[in-house]
Structure 1
Amino acid sequence: MSVKSRLKVVLCWHMHQPDYRGADHSDFQLPWVYLHGIKDYVDMVAHLENNSDARAVVNFAPVLLEQIDDYVQQISDWLEKGLLIKDPLLAALAGPGLPMDQAARRDLIHACRKANEKQLIHRFRTFHRLVDIAGWIDGHRENSMYLNDQYLVDLLVWYHLAWMGEHARINDLRVKSLEKKRHGYSCDDRRVLVQAILDLLRGIIPRYRRLAQQGRVELSVTPYAHPIVPLLLDINSTREAMPDAELPNVEAYPSGEERARWHIRKGIEVFRKHFGFEPVGCWPSEGAVSERTLELLDEEGFRWAATGQQVLHNSLVASKGGDLEPNWLHKPYWSTDNGINCFFRDDGLSDLIGFTYADWHADDAVGNLIQHLENIADATEGKSDRIVSIIMDGENAWEHYPRNGCFFLTALYKALAEHPRLALTTFNNYLSKRGKQSDRLDKVVAGSWVYGTFSTWIGDPDKNRGWEMLVDAKRAFDRVMESDRLNEKQREQAEIQMATCEGSDWFWWFGDYNPGDTVSDFESLFRKQLTFLYELLGEEPPEYLQHVFAKGSGDPSLGGVMRQNV
């Protein structure tokens, strides 16, 4: 079978972490950018490098690119000049000192337990023993004074070794040597590990850029600070998919289209700075789209955008009624008033990778996925536009897999690349070979990849309160920016800070569905970011920013970092 007639398959990995830097880009409040950097971003690019026939779309959130750069600069400055690393966990690893305060030491121990128990803790006997000791201290807090510095050093080293990606664990002699030593780590050992972390982080962006230059991956982008663009444009668009949703007590997001366009343009700017070219594709933040969102993306030069399966279903039902043609999902569409092509996530296949296959043997999991794809190939035989879009989080699933998903991903790329009826491709390559022949989508019902709605970011009382606080801040921002109170540098700083506050991740975590510790982290940081915005504007922060407004009590699958469409 010719490549042209095979079923096209796109693997699209979305790489995203919120901006974890505190107000005024102070200390990183959470370490997930560099930990996912040394584990997932490195492993994912290595899989693509190691199979010359592998193809994928890799989508980067601009604030992630900026934070990777920030870590590289800070670690370099520590190694070369002795300057402090502004991440408490990484700074503790680097040393040479450790906190003397007992509360600070307990916080450090607590931080070093935040890892997947089965795959990252139980896998390593020494790390498991150190974590068991930490658990005992939790029940006997007064005894933390008896834990000496060597215990803390060994725990810190093992925590970072456990988070190492599989390719570094196999190929980096420094990592292998430190694992083999097992305990009694010295200041020199810690420095060696920090240098290894720097080398891994420093290589991430150049390695993806090189694959893009070779035509082996397509790189795409998300609006700058990962906002839910349709809600900036029209909060009432929530009700297109959720007619009975309770909305915040605001009429609209002030100057929302101006802010949406700013995020899109700033995202392109940051992408171009890091990769040297402009992207043609966009995974809108959380796959959140509306008709106006797609128009903006088209106006800003994007060739394609992608979103969720349920958005397409809702849109087709609204356009054509409930009688949908067979295999409506596995092809692209374009809407009436703009030329941008839209691809839609196959929720079933994507969620199998995200939530099911981690507990399967890798060969069985890949065989099952291939069987599903073969069934789609059978059902779409003879259709020239057929394509399956598997779109998912590129970092959070793999810690639930043995060996960081290494067995599964190696087998997956190999099976797809060698299959006689399937062809791995990218969205832009697919369009380049077909031209614009997609079906017209007469109406787009606003929604996201999660359930086809915006319920993850709005409609809950805590989420709505967050929007009301954000709108208050935006009104203050508009008022000051229309005056001449700020100089050019201050205006630029205020604009970036406003964007940080507009990110979607705050709202993702508000609400009872999520675990209390994580909600507390994001709720507190959100209030700090808003407070700092008011300070930049020379305005008095509202008194309500001193009070907690959101608490979580849930226990969602995978800790809430991903959602399953069930």
Structure 2
Amino acid sequence: MKRAALCFLWHMHQPYYTDPVTGSASMPWVRLHATKAYYDMVYLLDQFPRISATFNFTPSLLRQLEELTAGAITDVFLEHARKPAAELSPEERAFVIRHFFSANWATMVRPSPRYQELLVKRGLHVAPQDLEPLAKRFTTQDLLDLQVWHNLAWFGYGARHRFPHLAELRKKGRGFSEQDKDDVLALQLDVMREVVPSYRKLAARGQIELTTSPFYHPILPLLIDTEIARRSLPHLPALPQIKAPADAEAQIRKAVEYHQLVFGEPPKGLWPSEGSVCPEMIPLLHQAGLRWFATDEGILARSIETQQGPWHRSVMLYQPYEIQHQGRILRAVFRDRDFSDAFGFRYHRTLPQLALEDVVRRLRTIPHESPREDLLIPVILDGENPWEHYHDGGEEFLSLLYQKLTAQAADEPGHFEIHTKTLSDALTSCPAPAKLPHLHSGSWINADFTIWIGHEEDQRGWELLRHTRQRLLEVSPSLDPDIRQAAWEELYAAEGSDWFWWYGDEFETDYKLEFDRLFRAHLRNVWTKAGLIAPDHLHQPIVPPAPAHAQQDLVALPTALISPKLDGMVTDFFEWYGAGTLRVAPPLGAMWSPARYFAHIAFGFNLETLFLRLDPDRTLKDQEPPLSVEWDIRTTDRAYKVTFPLIPPTEGTFLLTRGVPGEPFEYARELQGLARQRIIEVAVPFREFELTAGQSFAFSILVTREGLEVARYPHQHPVTLEVPTSDFDAMMWRV
């Protein structure tokens, strides 16, 4: 009689959204998915102790869960949710109505009449420039209800069963109080704190297996050598040359170590990021103590077709394989693509009972079509995103499925039995696996790497990564060990696959610009932590901003020469008349922290001197560690930095440093030319920047904490100016 091991592997993954400098994440998906899929999946499985499964957690996700539950970080969405609705600024109101409908509208917004009512009031499609006027139409109660519903809608069935108060709040539906909101956010934290212990509990009783992925979810083959992409994409143009097997080894080793720290024992198996594999990764996995990995059936088909002849799916798929490279052996499992994709992309479109019938049909067909006596049926897919598309989060469908499998209702007595198993248990009980002499290099999408390196934007990102890594290699021997480790950690975060997923035109998201910004922020942090001047190109978006976004990042250029009195006061209205200004608020609805450092920024010049005016925001308070201002000025071949504390004390001086882009700043000298009372005024002669009339230069204003950037003005591109000539006023008059 045939025996089939049905092996579910649910992959849980989020990129590293945290900026360690600000102590904040710009996106909320770790927190929100925790109260839905992460908790739902383990909660439901706990009700069916005879059902086994494997769960794969990326360490970058686990670290953020730890940071959030410990209060070490927050996220920008949570900061906007916590703030009393009556105290929201115009920019914050715009943020709330822009982003607090970020949920599946069909399954999470429309079923709640009040949530749907607020969506209709805002409109389905809103241009950024319309957000502030629209936000004025929302009453304080509207905004409070929206703050509550955005978080309430993300609680899945597990949390609602576990905490009945959530059902009471959903029934109330509208007219929420600030206390109701506090209750929702407190329960959110309670659920997040239960996630990891719940998985540990089921692993301890042997019901589930916990596995890992490379720490920050990089595409391992491309990290080992970007030229590996040509094995499946021979017609790619010239690629940035990265050969970083040491980074691949570090991503694997760190993942195993962190997994053991969180769950108490090391993982045996690994889901490579995006199912991306190549032969060169086999020794690295083996060295880290891993004994098996999983990927897509397309990889198996290409591997067999390349070396052994035709691909016979039903004969070849449902078994483990043994792969050897450089004397190291690992086992590999290849997912049933169509079966797995049905869970992720099709079953939510039909009734749970009909979806269940299709699962049973497949489970009965596979043993009949396969000649093997012992089968391994791998159903491997994303464990968090699909359930947003199910009307009840997938509860009814999964419950029916687990009931059916518990009762062994898919068996055919006398012909075959089907049992759920963890992948390690299934591999242990399988007879000697087949040998696979060649492993194709590719991913789970089309068995190649197009998504991550095939587009011009992808390749631009790889070039920025290559340049940053090369410079870090050069300076690492001279760095203090702690600084060196911190710089490499930021580089590893930038190696994650998710930044490259959104480059190019294959996929779209409202948050594409933010993924781009996060990628470049991690790279900038590498340079800054290493004490180097970050090159200008790291401040330039790879994804071109849409015109609507570009128009919001307003810079008004100077229209007249100025000579303000340096006294830290607005001595006379006209002393800054004709100066340029920078918008201090981020583009409406953008994913920056709501922290405000300045109420107003102005800049200008006369023929000899460059001036800066900063009006600190009234909400700004002393912070530990203290905040500083860096006025970065770039010429064609030099970089200068004017540095001073944002918060007093100060004695009217600033530090001027200079250097060459890509090198450390050199000490220049301390200069007079700063005044601070109600405002901050700074004056620096053009000669200090080695600039003469008619020469061009660019500048940005940074707020830093311990030397690392927490805010930047303008938000995307630096201000570009020319040193004025003697006819500047006349030219402006003609204009």
Structure-2-length-normalised TM-score: 0.70
Q: Comparing both structures, which one devotes a greater share of its residues to strand?
A: 2
Alignment check: 8 A CA contact 1:519 1:551 kept: no
Give the partner amino acid of 1:349.
Answer: F
1:386 aligns with 2:375: yes
Aligned to 1:431: 427
Aligned to 1:293: 281
Aligned to 2:452: 457
Counterpart secondary structure, 2:315: coil
Aligned to 2:679: none
Alignment check: 8 A CA contact 2:301 2:311 kept: no
Partner Cα distance (1:392, 1:332) in 2: 18
Counterpart secondary structure, 1:128: helix
Alignment check: 8 A CA contact 1:224 1:266 kept: yes
Counterpart secondary structure, 1:457: helix
Alignment check: 8 A CA contact 1:96 1:187 kept: yes
Q: Residue 174 and residue 93 in structure 1: after superposition, are their counterparts in 2 closer, same or farther (change >3 A)?
A: farther
1:111 aligns with 2:91: no
Q: Residue 355 and residue 137 in structure 1: after superposition, are their counterparts in 2 closer, same or farther (change >3 A)?
A: closer
Q: Mean alpha-carbon deviation: is it higher for 335-344 or for 111-120?
A: 335-344
Aligned to 1:81: none
Aligned to 1:368: 358
Alignment check: 8 A CA contact 2:112 2:173 kept: no
1:27 aligns with 2:24: yes
Counterpart secondary structure, 1:105: helix
Partner Cα distance (1:463, 1:99) in 2: 41
Partner Cα distance (1:552, 1:519) in 2: 10
Shift of 1:494: 1.2
Alignment of 1:218-233 (within 5 A): 218-233=209-224
Aligned to 1:241: 232
Alignment check: 8 A CA contact 1:120 1:162 kept: yes
1:58 aligns with 2:55: yes
Aligned to 2:294: 306
Alignment of 1:130-279 (within 5 A): 130-135=118-123, 138=126, 141=131, 142-248=133-239, 250-253=240-243, 256-279=244-267
Q: Residue 124 and residue 276 in structure 1: after superposition, are their counterparts in 2 closer, same or farther (change >3 A)?
A: same
Alignment check: 8 A CA contact 1:137 1:143 kept: no
1:359 aligns with 2:355: no
Give the partner amino acid of 1:30.
Answer: M
Alignment check: 8 A CA contact 2:282 2:324 kept: no
Partner Cα distance (1:531, 1:184) in 2: 45
1:442 aligns with 2:437: yes
Relative contact order, CA 8 A, sep 6+: which one is greater? 1
Q: Residue 99 and residue 531 in structure 1: after superposition, are their counterparts in 2 closer, same or farther (change >3 A)?
A: farther
Shift of 1:366: 1.3
Please give the per-residue CA displacement for 1:16-42, whole angstroms capped at 9, x wherever unaligned.
Answer: 011111253632110000100001101
Counterpart secondary structure, 2:448: coil
Shift of 1:518: 2.6
Q: Mean alpha-carbon deviation: is it higher for 287-296 or for 95-104?
A: 95-104
Q: Residue 326 and residue 28 in structure 1: after superposition, are their counterparts in 2 closer, same or farther (change >3 A)?
A: closer
Aligned to 1:125: 113
Partner Cα distance (1:347, 1:334) in 2: 20
Q: Residue 212 and residue 444 in structure 1: after superposition, are their counterparts in 2 closer, same or farther (change >3 A)?
A: same
Partner Cα distance (1:479, 1:342) in 2: 38
Structure-1-length-normalised TM-score: 0.91
Partner Cα distance (1:545, 1:445) in 2: 34
Partner Cα distance (2:167, 2:450) in 1: 45
Aligned to 2:337: 347
Alignment check: 8 A CA contact 1:457 1:508 kept: yes
Aligned to 1:42: 39
Alignment check: 8 A CA contact 1:512 1:552 kept: no
Please give the per-residue CA displacement for 1:298-357, whole angstroms capped at 9, x wherever unaligned.
Answer: 222111100111111111111112354752111111113332110001111011111111
Counterpart secondary structure, 1:343: strand
Alignment check: 8 A CA contact 2:14 2:60 kept: yes
Alignment check: 8 A CA contact 2:26 2:77 kept: no
Alignment check: 8 A CA contact 2:226 2:242 kept: yes
Alignment check: 8 A CA contact 2:3 2:374 kept: no
Give the partner amino acid of 1:459.
Answer: G
Any stretches of 5+ residues in structure 2 without a counterpart?
A: 412-416, 547-735
Partner Cα distance (1:537, 1:27) in 2: 21
Partner Cα distance (1:126, 1:117) in 2: 13
Partner Cα distance (1:210, 1:138) in 2: 45
Q: Percent identity?
A: 32
Q: Report how many aligned residue pairs link the two structures.
A: 534
Q: Residue 516 and residue 89 in structure 1: after superposition, are their counterparts in 2 closer, same or farther (change >3 A)?
A: closer
Shift of 1:137: 9.8
Counterpart secondary structure, 2:123: helix
Shift of 1:180: 2.2
Alignment of 1:398-409 (within 5 A): 398-409=387-398
Match of 2:497 among 500, 504, 511: 504
Partner Cα distance (2:374, 2:500) in 1: 37
1:528 aligns with 2:484: no
Alignment check: 8 A CA contact 2:256 2:288 kept: no
Counterpart secondary structure, 1:540: coil
Give the partner amino acid of 2:345.
Answer: F
- RMSD value, Cα: 1.9
Aligned to 2:6: 9
Alignment check: 8 A CA contact 1:498 1:533 kept: yes
Partner Cα distance (1:431, 1:326) in 2: 19
Shift of 1:412: 1.7
**Structure index of larger Rg:** 2
Partner Cα distance (1:427, 1:549) in 2: 40
Alignment check: 8 A CA contact 2:59 2:213 kept: yes
Give the partner amino acid of 1:192.
Answer: D
Q: Comparing both structures, which one devotes a greater share of its residues to helix?
A: 1
Partner Cα distance (2:316, 2:482) in 1: 50
